[in-house]
Amino acid sequence: MSVIILQNNYGKSNVRVMKVTKNSEVHEIKEMTVGIQLEGDFETVHTEGDNRKVLPTDTMKNTVYALAKENPVKSIEEFSIYLAKYFIENNKQVSSVTIENTETLWNRISLNGKPHNHSFVSGGNEKRFTKVITDGENISVTSGIKDLLVLKTTASGFENYIKDKFTTLKETSDRVFSTSIKAVWQYANQDVNYLKISNDIRKIILETFATHHSLSVQQTLYETGKNILEECKDVSEISITMPNKHYLLFNLGQFGMENNNEIFIPTDEPFGLIEAKLKREN
Amino acid sequence: MSVIILQNNYGKSNVRVMKVTKNSEVHEIKEMTVGIQLEGDFETVHTEGDNRKVLPTDTMKNTVYALAKENPVKSIEEFSIYLAKYFIENNKQVSSVTIENTETLWNRISLNGKPHNHSFVSGGNEKRFTKVITDGENISVTSGIKDLLVLKTTASGFENYIKDKFTTLKETSDRVFSTSIKAVWQYANQDVNYLKISNDIRKIILETFATHHSLSVQQTLYETGKNILEECKDVSEISITMPNKHYLLFNLGQFGMENNNEIFIPTDEPFGLIEAKLKREN
Amino acid sequence: MSVIILQNNYGKSNVRVMKVTKNSEVHEIKEMTVGIQLEGDFETVHTEGDNRKVLPTDTMKNTVYALAKENPVKSIEEFSIYLAKYFIENNKQVSSVTIENTETLWNRISLNGKPHNHSFVSGGNEKRFTKVITDGENISVTSGIKDLLVLKTTASGFENYIKDKFTTLKETSDRVFSTSIKAVWQYANQDVNYLKISNDIRKIILETFATHHSLSVQQTLYETGKNILEECKDVSEISITMPNKHYLLFNLGQFGMENNNEIFIPTDEPFGLIEAKLKREN
Amino acid sequence: MSVIILQNNYGKSNVRVMKVTKNSEVHEIKEMTVGIQLEGDFETVHTEGDNRKVLPTDTMKNTVYALAKENPVKSIEEFSIYLAKYFIENNKQVSSVTIENTETLWNRISLNGKPHNHSFVSGGNEKRFTKVITDGENISVTSGIKDLLVLKTTASGFENYIKDKFTTLKETSDRVFSTSIKAVWQYANQDVNYLKISNDIRKIILETFATHHSLSVQQTLYETGKNILEECKDVSEISITMPNKHYLLFNLGQFGMENNNEIFIPTDEPFGLIEAKLKREN
């Protein structure tokens, strides 16, 4: 018997870095959590413990900080592309580099309606992220938003579904709809404004969620994706995930009281999980 | 030998409830996580397994939902007072009721600058909370804000401290200062506008953090508390906690590069923890 | 312009269920967290809000509990296969069912060396999991272990790696090695004893970790996979993930003290991440 | 108006340290997370930003590592006492030092029934902790166990409780009882074997949980505390917390099926929370 290595990769995860840019009194910050993964000619590392082709993950970490100094870090996408190119160009034993980069969001503190020069308040759990892959010739970039948590108190229903012997859910034309949206998209071309596209997509997601009368999570998800593909010409494909975070109607009837969609039990689990990938067809 | 029960209490924790109020097309929501704890004459429950004086924690949970229907739930404080009074008045075996209530914050989705009637986006990790205690005669109310995460890129230093044989920290007149603020306050009188006071305190916290030149976390903490006590006459006492969430300067010098307060390592642990309780002296 | 749905799926996640089996005074428990995902003919759900082909995720949840009653739930694999077959057979609009199932582990409390009949203590964070996919004809089963956290204080080194301008790591022939192991395997045939294979694999992982002198995480990972493929004939392929949870040597030299691999800083991030997939070649 | 500082304290939290002791081929490890808090004459730090009396929290962190080298670290209690004494003796401006120390538990990997010399597997979520406070003259030590998660499938009921208009819970003489136990105790004298007492208490907790027929969580809690005070003469007082982690009976009746205490829904929230403090009366 012999054993074959079908696939292998290694790298450093959760390298946290913040770049502060002070070109004027108005400071800019970019806080990121970076992961690097390398694939390549690493057979003998596994089989013989021969480390001569191994770039230590500690060095990858150091490289992130050094390159964050060199690069302006305007967007996580541009910095991640810069990183990916560095690693592929400086390591001949490597056939593929993957950079994953998640941005921790900060908003300027607003004093009397004016954004402060150098003070920030957390942007919450919501995050922007990107994944860049290169083999030295081609480069692929995907971007995303995740943990965008929203809730609406009406204009959402769920009816006319299959009933079987295990059905207990009651049909409703008016329910609370809450979801923590994740969207991941690919670009139709490479010469794009990453920050603007991300902001545009976020705006369309919120707008669609607020204004679309939802007959199901699926329908709202599709409407969201369709609106993004129609309005953002630089986006070729988008995957959207919408967990259905259930707010259950509490049964006040057992106490002789009415519950006119007023009193709900927020729950974390179980949750519905709805996903789809949409593509523009020109 | 015999064993004495020095103290005992029991109740239900993490009762999650959302109240939706639909007095007009503009819906209001209040999402809360409630805890109830009772103290009283429960000796024989422990020593004999006699449950005749036990109000089940399941019933406490049901009561939260029923009372959320009855009460307008304008603020977590008013609802918690209503709950506390209900439990003390309806349970003669109980000598003290404690209600803890934490609000999950939601902001209206804004479309073209206009807040939406019934759609909301998460307010992030930041939370409002209250603790109400009553023995049936007196009632104490404390309120608070927690997980208010802020960061400033300058106007903060730390110098002139003690040096001993284990000192390695370098003095600096310019560092990144980040902290996740918690503030808990008591009221000078009972007839107050809970929501307004909380909003005022949050505003002063952000304003002080942004504008105060910090010589230490302690000094910023004291300045924050002083400003609150000076401006909020309804507040008699305030405790503030400021963990120092360190952003460490990465040593670029080892690569022959300069780090002019540009490249930092955000860290979660260890962290400084600074706390003080301030009181107004008239 | 038109929009195409490239792919879609939906279902229920985090359905928690415990089955207690009382065939004798010795009770058996199986605590599971189940996820169900369906793919199929759901185009009009998205595009028209037509729910007539939708099996509600609430019904999926109910089905898990009902089928946990019917099935003996000897292993998460057998129960997940039973669930997958139920959903594919009872839903003509569905082309593929995926069941993910994670077991929360419990150990019997041992009193004077004797395992108790009906009392259990947590098995910690470590988990067993499975993924079952069926299209109604074929069925694929993968199984795994995750969060198996181990640490060794010696017999591990890392030397002879690439040095470049960003290298600061010092070579060492003796370091602390800690990793939280995840292993996922496929079966060479369908007629297997799932519980025994999982126990055997866990035993080999621990044995290899303890006894193998490690020249790199990669080498230990490969050795582990090789030993599993050699000893477990029912396993055809295995993927192993070994995050390198760094224990950093604290620099006592700055205080004139020696650190002979005694005093370490445990860290959570950043961490190395090493992965490989191995296959037996007969 | 003037502002008074009623109370203040500061220090470092979450200082993680592991000590490896290699007196023979059998290595010992102790992984700890340490917190230090100082109180004292720090008025002008707050009011004037005068740091001349401030021992930086960074220095506290360094001191933990240096003293972990000097001290044998046989138990978290002995190491924490050593730390507390160091800080109070070397800082005249300090009136009180508090050390909190939590141990991350590791078990030796067992190969063919034999514990390995230098390889360990995680002890799970369960933790040992201590709190040491000194003013330079007196020293107080409390110790504890937390996150000791247990479950029993029978020999537990809950009946004869109060029924009111919000009662929906059904009485039962046979339910699943699961709780994550926390116990914190004080010592009757200072000359004790900390490790032995902690092990004895853990053993009594598990034994009582397994063998006691429970009429309520309160009764089991009291029985546990009573047994500890009776058997551990060095313990003078003990506080026990038992959250009631509900396993709800799933309603199979709605599908015409029976549920003879077989199929449960494990839930995280809400949960019952039962606490009591017991003292020996000689």
Closest-CA distance of chain C to residue A271, Å: 5
Tokens 């009136």, residue located:
D95
CA distances from residue C216 to B113, C174, C178 in whole angstroms, order as listed: 56, 11, 12
Check CB contact of D155 with chain B, cutoff 8 Å. Answer: no
Same domain, A22 and A106: yes
Structure tokens at B136: 């049936």
Distance from CA of B274 to the nearest CA of D (A): 4
Q: Which of D137, D156, D182 is the last residue of a domain?
A: D137
For residue B190, the model assigns a pLDDT of 84
Q: Is the pLDDT of residue C190 over 90?
A: no
At residue B272, the pLDDT reads 98
Q: What are phi and psi of A8, to 5 degrees?
A: -155, 150
Query: Is there a single domain that holds both residue C20 and residue C117?
Result: yes
Whether C93 and C175 map to the same domain: the answer is no
**A81 and A154 together in one domain:** no
Write down the pLDDT at residue A190.
84
Choosing from B106, B137, B168, the residue where a domain stops is B137
For residues C164 and C106, membership in a common domain is answered with: no
Residue B208, domain member (yes or no): yes
- Contact (CB<8Å) C168/A58: yes
Cβ-Cβ contacts under 8 Å for C259 (sequence gap 6 or more): C249, C250, C251, C252, C253, D69
Omega cis (within 30) before C270: yes
Indicate whether C124 and C153 sit together in one domain: no
Last residue of a domain, which of C79, C111, C137? C137
Q: According to the 3-state scheme, what is the secondary structure of A202-234?
A: HHHHHHHHHHCCECCHHHHHHHHHHHHHHHCCC
Specify if D214 maps to a domain. Answer: yes
Look up the pTM and report it: 0.98
Whether residue A16 and residue B267 make contact (CB cut-off 8 A), yes or no, is yes
Q: Which of C129, C107, C125 is nearest to C33 (CA)?
A: C129
Amino acid at B81: I
Same domain, A129 and A155: no
Mean pLDDT for each 10-residue chunk of chain B (282 residues)? 94 98 97 98 97 98 98 98 98 98 98 97 98 98 98 98 98 98 95 97 98 98 98 97 98 98 98 98 80
Hey, which bits of chain D come out as E strands? 2-21, 28-40, 94-111, 114-134, 139-152, 177-187, 235-244, 247-249, 263-266, 271-281
A108 in B contact zone (CB under 8 Å): no
Residue A245: CB atoms within 10 A of its CB come to: 19
For residues C3 and A276, is the Cβ–Cβ distance under 8 A? no
pLDDT, chain D, mean: 97
Q: Please, which pLDDT band fits residue C96 given cuts at 50, 70 and 90?
A: very high
- C11: tokens are 């279902």
Looking at the structure, tell me whether residues B25 and B99 fall in a common domain.
yes
A19 vs B contacts (CB less than 8 Å) = 262-264
Q: Which residues pair with B201 in a beta bridge?
A: none
Residue A73 half-sphere exposure, CB side, CA atoms within 13 Å? 24
**Average pLDDT rounded to a whole number, residues D109-126:** 97
Q: Per residue in C201-217, pLDDT tens?
A: 999 999 999 999 999 99
Q: Please, what is the average pLDDT of chain C?
A: 97
Give me the mean pLDDT over the D14-25 stretch: 98
Asked whether residue D79 is assigned to any structural domain, the reply reads: yes
Residue-wise burial string across C184-204, b where 16 or more C-beta atoms lie within 10 A, e elsewhere = bbbbeeeebebeebbebbbeb
Percent of chain D at pLDDT > 70 equals 100
Interface ipTM > 0.95: yes
Question: Quick one: D200 and D84 in the same domain?
Answer: no
Under-50 pLDDT residues of chain A = none
Among D119, D206, D259, beta carbon nearest to C210: D119
Chain D: nearest CA to C50, how far in angstroms?
A: 27
Rounded distance, CA A222 to CA A244, Å?
15
D190 confidence band (pLDDT: 50, 70, 90): confident
B135-166: string of b/e by CB count within 10 Å (b at 16+)? ebeeeebbbbbbebbbbbbbbbbbeebeeeeb
Contact call for residues B9 and D275 (beta carbons, < 8 A): yes
Residues A154, A212 contacting (CB under 8 angstroms): no
Domain residues for A246?
A: 147-279
CA C172/CA D226 separation, integer angstroms: 52
> B247 with B129, same domain?
no
* Residue of chain C whose alpha carbon sits nearest to that of B267: C269
Nearest to A3 among C56, C58, C226 (CB): C226
pLDDT on residue C16:
98
A260: domain CATH number is: 3.10.270.10
* Contact assignment for D46 to B276 by CB distance below 8 Å: yes
Whether C192 and C211 map to the same domain: the answer is yes
Q: Is D157 in the C-facing interface, judged by CB distances under 8 Å?
A: no
Q: In the prediction, which pLDDT does D152 show? A: 98
Residue C282: pLDDT over 80: no
Cβ separation C206–D68 shorter than 8 A: no
Say if D218 falls within a structural domain.
Answer: yes
Active site residues of B: 12, 57, 246
Asked if C55 and C157 sit in the same domain, the reply is no
Which tens digit of pLDDT belongs to each residue from C244-277? 999 999 999 999 999 999 999 999 999 999 999 9
Indicate the pLDDT class of residue D106, thresholds 50, 70 and 90. Answer: very high
Say which of A19, A27, A57, A127 is annotated catalytic: A57
With respect to residue C105, please indicate whether it lies within any of the assigned structural domains: yes
**d(C-alpha C171, C-alpha C267), whole Å:** 19
pLDDT band at D1 (very low <50, low <70, confident <90, very high): confident
Enumerate the residues of chain D whose CB falls inside 8 A of the CB of residue C65.
250, 252, 263, 265
Contact: A152, B22; criterion CB under 8 Å: no
Q: Is residue A96 less than 8 Å (CB to CB) from chain C?
A: no
Residue A5 lies in a domain: no
The domain tally of chain A equals 2
Set of chain D residues whose Cβ sits within 8 Å of the Cβ of B59 = 162, 164, 166-169
- Per the CB < 8 Å rule, is C257 touching D66? yes
